[in-house]
Amino acid sequence: MLLVFGSIGARSADSTRRAPKLLRSAIGCLLTEDYVKTDLKELGLGLNGKAWARFHVGPVKGTTPVPNEIQVAVYAPGGARGWLLLAESDAPKSVMPLRNAYRLARNGTQWEADEGSGGLQTYKVMSAFATELSHTYLYRVDLEANQGSCSG
């Protein structure tokens, strides 16, 4: 097991532990979208590579609740930057990307979000959420597009 400290956050991560099916499905579906590929390219990541990611299922406190929302944070190599990608799901193999994402930058122990929908208050809420998310389990994920993961 690898203990990850530094820019991504102090939380254990095991590159041999398989990411949950819902996270794999969400990433597979999100990667079918051109805007997600562009966002990840900005981080130095590309299709068929690997990345560190965290996820959460459920509403983000302080935002308008979206039923079955999934938030996926994908981090750049080095862990100082990332993107918070959004989707919704009714089942592990049924994911629909939500056309919104927040660029993340680490500032000390806090994460700052910008560039997504909303104004300063939304960025403040998403920054706090990204910081909270940074204390959850960190998974090593394959960046493989999978249209079969998408609903609709």
- Say if CB 3 and CB 36 are below 8 A apart: no
- Compute the radius of gyration of the chain from its Cα atoms: 14
Domain boundaries, the chain: 22-143
Q: Environment class of residue 27 by beta-carbon count within 10 Å: exposed (0-12), middle (13-18) or buried (19+)? A: buried
Q: What pTM does this model have?
A: 0.89
Q: Average pLDDT of each block of 10 consecutive residues along the chain (152 residues)?
A: 42 70 95 97 97 96 91 97 95 84 97 93 97 97 93 73
